Structures are given as C-alpha cells and as structure tokens.
Amino acid sequence: MRNRNTIKSLLAATTSPGSVQVCGWVRSVRSGKEVSFITLNDGSCFASLQLVAQSAQLADLAGLATGACLHATGMLIASPAAGQRWELQLETLEVTGAADETYPLQKKQHSLEFLRSIAHLRPRSNTFGAVFRLRSQLAFAVHQFFQHRGFVYVQTPIITANDCEGAGEMFRVTTLDPSQPPLTEGRIDWREDFFGERTGLTVSGQLQGELFATAFSDIYTFGPTFRAENSNTSRHAAEFWMIEPEIAFADLTDNCQLAEDFLRYMVSYALEQCQEDLDFFNARIEKGLLEKLHALAAARFERVTYTQAVALLLKSKCTFEFPVQWGKDLQAEHERYLTEQIFSGPVFVTDYPRHIKAFYMRDNDDEKTVAAMDLLVPRVGEIIGGSQREECLERLQNKMAAQGIAAGDMEWYLDIRRWGSCPHAGFGLGFERLLMYLTGMENIRDVIPFPRTPGNARF
Ligand code: 4AD
Ligand code: MG
C-alpha cells in the first residue's frame, strides 16, 4: 500500500484529488439503516477521516469495529458535515486486521492512569497520538537548532565507568554471575568483569561532551540517560532523554543565553509546526496553554542568584514542607514557588553553594559558591541544569579530592586541563520535562513512549 494517501495530506487538500486510498485504524463506527459512518485515523495528524458508506456495503464484513485496521478506497468529496472539509465516499473496504468489543480503547474518555496500563495501545488514542507526534517533531527541532548554529552532534557512550553527577545513582552493567561473583578479600573483583572495571549506564554525557568541546568548540549530545534514584515523583524517570550542549570560550552568562535561546526556539517551533496537536492540549489538558507558550516565546527570562532566591523565599513568609536555609538545596516546592508565585515565568537561579553541586563546576571568587545555573519554569520546576566548568587543573584536582573522587579514574578528564585548557560551559535539558511544559501533561510517564520508573519496565 505504498501508494496510499495519508489522511493528513487528504485533509489538507485544496481541491479533491478524486479517487484515493487510505489505511488506518477505526476510532468509531456508526451504523444507520441506509448510511454508515466510520472514523479512521492513521496517526499522520490529529484529525480522523470520515468514511461514508451505504450500510449494505458493510453487511458482510467481519471484524469491523473500533480498533480494526482498514484499507479503503473511494472518492474524496466535500463534506456537508460541520468541522471537516473532506470525507471519503467509500468504494471498496477491506478489513486488514479485525477487532471486536474486547478492544480496550473503546470510544470513551479513559483516564491517563488506565492508558498507562495499556502503554502498548495508548499511541492510538487522541492524547497520546498528539504527545508522540509532538515529541517526534521537537526531537527534529533540537537538531535543527544546534545544526543551524554549527554545533557538532556527538554520540556519547551509554555504558561508562564514570558517575558524572557523583551521586552514586547508576544502574550497574555487568556480565558477572550475581550468585557467584569473583571475590578478592570478600569484595567483588570488578577486574574480572566484562570491561575489567566497574561500569554502569550513563547519568550524563557531559564529561565526554567536554572532551569534544575542547576540539570542536561547540557540541551537543542528545541521547538516553539513566538514573537509579528511587524517587517516585511525576517528574522523575529512571530512563529519560537529555540534550547537553557544551560550548568552549564561554562563561555562565553565555551559557544562560544559549539556554534561553534554545528554549525559546523550541517553544516557537512547537507553536508554528504543531498547531493542531497544541490546540488539543490547550482545550483538553491545560487551559491557557497557548497563551502561556506565546508569553514564554516573548518573555525576558529573569535571573537571580541562589542567595537572592533564598532571601526572597524567606521574605515570602510561605510555609514550606522543607525549611528554606542558605546552604541547603532548593526543593521542588521552593523552585515552583519562585517561578510560579514570585516571577510568574521562567527564571534562572545561579551561583549555588559549592558543597551542594557537582565537582566540575567552577568556583566563584567568593569561595562559597559555584558558577551553576538552573532554569525553572512554572508547573515543571527545574527544566535545565548547567554550569561553567572548572578549567584550572589544580583547582579541579583540589575539588575532586575534597569530594572524594579518585583522580586515577579520571585522568582523561583532567588531561584537557593539562593541554590547551579553555573556559567552557554547558547545560542539560531534560527532554521529557520540556515536553511536559509544552503539552501540559503533568506526569513524565505520559510524555515518554514506554516509561521506566521504579517497579515498572514492562512493554
Ligand atoms: O541537573 P542535571 O542532573 O544535570 C546534569 O546531568 C548535567 N551533567 C548537565 C550538564 O551540565 N551537561 O540534569 C539535567 C536535566 C534536569 O534539569 C532535568 O530537566 C533532567 O535533566 N533530569 C531528569 N528528567 C527526568 N527524570 C530524571 N530522573 C531527571 N534527572 C534530571
Ligand atoms: Mg539539576
């Protein structure tokens, strides 16, 4: 059926192409005495095509029900019905894949929780059709943004011996027999393992990204990232996609500017290219979504230091579950209060206390804070995290020693400070957090095709 017409192309036609053929999945069947209507969707766009048949044409067809897969031919004619320009006057119909009333996605309002339990079928629903079309287009936009600016796309490894964020939240990768691991003095001897050392799934491509930035100046990664943190929240997944640009000859201000340009580009791209799907989110998922996105595309992103943010939170007199105190990391509730209540829009929080941030962040002159930045947005909270990197070998070595990171395993990372070191900075944008922001979907499980969260890796 390679010469089939997509429903998207048919619905966009300005004049009737005449006789056409379509394939897709039935959303609903309405049988009348004389005339019957079938709504067919092929995923090419949000809207479905209405097939109009003489009921007698369908009389002998087995398996024609919601969920069935059809191959239809007919004439595309102007539709007398409201809200659709074209409909298909059916000539021939073949049931490629039958369905019956046991099909779980019957035409009614299903809860997102229920749809999560049928993650293998939910792409055929309106909501998830819209989510995953948007996801695909936005992935393309990521590449377009960076490629237009001359960034080199680097595929960093998935299996690695380094825990970039230093929080010990890696999934282990091993071929050792867990019931009989090789032991030396009672401890597992990783030298016997496949890679000859202890390895896991990457938590970030940043460290390798830095190596490439000191050769190509501007690079980005876009790939899956894994975190074994057991936080069962609506914003955390154990497997998620991250975009990590790394730029040489850049400081924290340049980094914030790139992040702002990037986010603005993604929002504008969605508004221009994904209109039909965004209209659906605006009507059914988050009221006022379009207005919010238009406002963001035009907004000035605010900037405050961590120290200022803490002062603002203390001044707010709001009672939080976790008390606000200089030196403690901001919790999700604090982040949301800042972006939703205080700034009512996107805000960069910069210059966090040194001891709550990763070892690679550049020390500020005050010797208390580092050149870090998080971008917070309403509803989602932290969407981007990044920093200027410590480019001085000696200072970096001291920081690693202070955080108990063995330099021996990281000599390759230190080498770029030994030869041809330069100021550089970068950040990570969580792709699913961005999609949550753009769609209004409130649970990260609903913007990734097959979510991996504690206790859940089926499908
Ligand atoms: O703030 P994070 O941990 O920063 C890094 O990984 C740096 N190495 C990035 C860099 O500077 N190149 O993560 C970056 C972003 C977060 O702001 C968030 O959007 C997302 O990744 N993220 C998650 N998204 C979903 N589930 C999780 N468990 C996430 N953890 C982080
Ligand atoms: Mg972070």
pLDDT tens profile 107-147? 788 999 999 999 999 999 999 999 999 999 999 999 999 99
Q: d(Cα 114, Cα 281) in Å, to the nearest integer?
A: 19
In the reported structure, the alpha carbon of residue 112 is separated from the centroid of ligand 1 by a whole-number distance in angstroms of 25
Task: List, for residues 371-381, the tens digit of each pLDDT value.
Answer: 999 999 999 99
Q: d(Cα 359, Cα 372) in Å, to the nearest integer?
A: 11
> Counting atoms of ligand 1 from 1, which one is nearest the CA of 374?
17
Q: d(Cα 287, Cα 455) in Å, to the nearest integer?
A: 32
Nearest CA owner, ligand 1 atom 30: 236
Residue range 344-352: mean pLDDT, rounded: 97
Q: d(Cα 406, Cα 413) in Å, to the nearest integer?
A: 12
pLDDT at position 323 over 80: yes
pLDDT band at 317 (very low <50, low <70, confident <90, very high): confident
Give the pLDDT confidence score for residue 231 in this predicted structure: 82
pLDDT at position 329 over 70: yes
Q: What is the DSSP string of 238-290?
A: SEEEEEEEEEES--HHHHHHHHHHHHHHHHHHHHHH-HHHHHHHHHHT-TTHH
Q: Which ligand is closest in space to the CA of residue 387?
A: 1
Q: d(Cα 284, Cα 126) in Å, to the nearest integer?
A: 11
Q: Which ligand is closest in space to the CA of residue 429?
A: 1
Q: d(Cα 378, Cα 344) in Å, to the nearest integer?
A: 7
The token pair that represents 304 in the structure block: 């405050």
Residue range 245-273: mean pLDDT, rounded: 98
Task: List, for residues 229-240, the tens digit of each pLDDT value.
Answer: 888 899 999 999
Nearest CA owner, ligand 1 atom 31: 430
pLDDT at position 1 over 90: no
The CA-based diameter of the chain, rounded to the nearest angstrom, is 84
Tell me what percent of the residues of the chain surpass a pLDDT of 70. 99
Residue range 393-408: mean pLDDT, rounded: 91
pLDDT at position 10 over 90: yes
Least confident of 70-74, 207-211, 314-318: 314-318
Give the pLDDT confidence score for residue 366 in this predicted structure: 96
In the reported structure, the alpha carbon of residue 290 is separated from the centroid of ligand 1 by a whole-number distance in angstroms of 26
pTM of the model: 0.96
What is the DSSP code (8-state) at residue 177?
Answer: -
pLDDT at position 180 over 90: yes
pLDDT at position 30 over 90: yes
Helices 252-273 & 289-298 angle (0-180, nearest 10): 140
Q: Which ligand is closest in space to the CA of residue 434?
A: 1
Residues enclosing ligand 1, CB less than 6 A? 164-165, 204, 206, 227, 236-237, 240, 242, 244, 382-387, 426-428, 430, 432-433, 444
Q: d(Cα 86, Cα 180) in Å, to the nearest integer?
A: 66
Give the pLDDT confidence score for residue 164 in this predicted structure: 75
Q: How many CA atoms lie within 13 A of 158 on its CB side?
A: 9
Give the pLDDT confidence score for residue 67 in this predicted structure: 97
Show the domains of the chain with their CATH numbers: 7-103 (2.40.50.140), 122-167+203-446 (3.30.930.10)
Nearest CA owner, ligand 1 atom 5: 428
Count of H-run helices and E-run strands, the chain: 13, 18
Nearest CA owner, ligand 1 atom 18: 430
- The mean predicted confidence, pLDDT, of the chain is 95
> CB count, 10 Å around CB of 205?
29
> CB count, 10 Å around CB of 22?
23
pLDDT band at 167 (very low <50, low <70, confident <90, very high): low
Q: d(Cα 425, Cα 251) in Å, to the nearest integer?
A: 6
pLDDT band at 168 (very low <50, low <70, confident <90, very high): low
Give the pLDDT confidence score for residue 267 in this predicted structure: 98
pLDDT at position 52 over 90: yes
Ligand 1: which of 210, 220, 242, 413 to mutate, judged by most atoms within 8 Å of the beta carbon? 242
> Counting atoms of ligand 1 from 1, which one is nearest the CA of 236?
26
The pair phi, psi for residue 230, each rounded to 5°, is: -90, 45
Cα pseudo-dihedral 299, 206, 155, 259, rounded to 10: 10
